[in-house]
Amino acid sequence: MGEFKADVLVIGAGLTGSVIARQLAEAGKCVRVWDRRSHIAGNMYDCRDEHGILVQKYGPHTFHTKEKELYDYMCRFEEWIPYRLHCGAKIDGYFTPTPFNFKTIDQLYAPKDAERLKEHIEKAFQGRKTATVVEVMESSDELVRAYGRLLFEKDYSLYTAKQWGIPPEQVDPSILRRVPLRFSYEEGYFGDAYQVMPRHSFTSFFEHLLSHENIRVELGVEALDHLTVSPDGDALLLDGVPCPMLVVYTGALDELFQRDQGALPYRSLRFEWKYEDCEEIQPYPVTAYPDAEGYTRITEYKKLPVQKVQGTMYAVEYPLMYHAGKKQEPYYPLLTEESKKASERYKRRAARVKRLYPCGRLADFKYYDMDQALKRALEVARAIQEGKETYVSRE
């Protein structure tokens, strides 16, 4: 790849890699960023389509956090506007809000039965505003348990089976706890203090984030064509010789080690893009279709953020298993007891490699939200500045 004069090589121009690059550049490090795609911003990349609608090519993103310092960091590189995400699911012909709430009960039950169920819920979960579907299914109240099972059968089990490609009982419980049930009529997907969308675009945010004299970005570079681990497992090689730079790696960790301990399971996505000359196709910008054949959800992008445009562009989302080398992107780590043990084996190996910093959703094999990825990136950047030899995320 030619002569290198950089202090740090960052693999991946998504949020984790770009934030670390910026932090180190501001600290006086010369940073080179490689990405195998033809654009920056990773899965947060957005652009205007042929109809003038701002779309996110890799699925819907909004920024939300409870931590002001994380929000303040984002504000350094883009202007943000308030945006409270509303999501829904189509069940038994009804569009109902997610997280499910008392409106869901009103839609799925006869009026008298609905009122009785809400009374039992309030008694069973006194003073609580939310609970996971697992907690509801384990309630000592028979009516409440039946409600939890109903939602599990009509939504969670169907959606989970499609999204992850395995039976729900094999999925890590943390996945089922991500979206709680609400014990009120309140709507809105998140409850965080800061919920925003970029005024211009996510790509604009990344352009400002990576705009620094000490950062050089190179696109269309497959890092693993050049970067390998030495035979003794202690160092990185760049084009066959010892790598002169510290390396921040945000890709799939098993691929760095040529999957010699077996492949870590990741889920990928296929998007079917459609345009219709109508006002809308669904009441929520992001809607789950648990009983639909093959696809999990539809995102209507004129609502994310709200855009005054003619017609509507939407993406139908089909989950599938990721296979390296098949022109797919690994989106989500498939968290099971077995896969978490496998990822720990790779992390132990990575901890031996000098001057290697694996991080991000893929390398850490963790399901990060955007603010969690940002927080992890800032921690890794601090560790590098403090001179830590490596900084591998562990369970």
Domains of the chain and CATH, by start:
8-83+198-264+333-385 (3.40.50.720), 98-182 (no CATH)
pTM of the full structure:
0.94
Identify which of 331, 334, 294, 332 has the alpha carbon closest to the alpha carbon of residue 316: 294
Task: Report which of residues 6 and 168 the model is more confident about.
Answer: 6
DSSP 8-state secondary structure symbol assigned to residue 77 = T
Cα 212 from chain centroid? 26
pLDDT for 325 equals 82
What is the b/e burial string over 31-63, where b = at least 16 CB atoms within 10 angstroms of the residue's CB?
Answer: bbbbbbbeebbbbbbbeeeeeebbbbbbebbbb
Asked whether residue 176 carries a pLDDT value surpassing 90, the answer given is: no
Q: Alpha-carbon distance 219 to 36, whole Å? A: 6
Confidence of residue 179 (pLDDT cuts 50, 70, 90): confident
Instruction: Dig out the tokens for 293 from the structure.
Output: 């054949």
pLDDT for 17 equals 98
pLDDT for 394 equals 61
pLDDT for 3 equals 58
What's phi and psi for 204, nearest 5 deg?
-60, -40
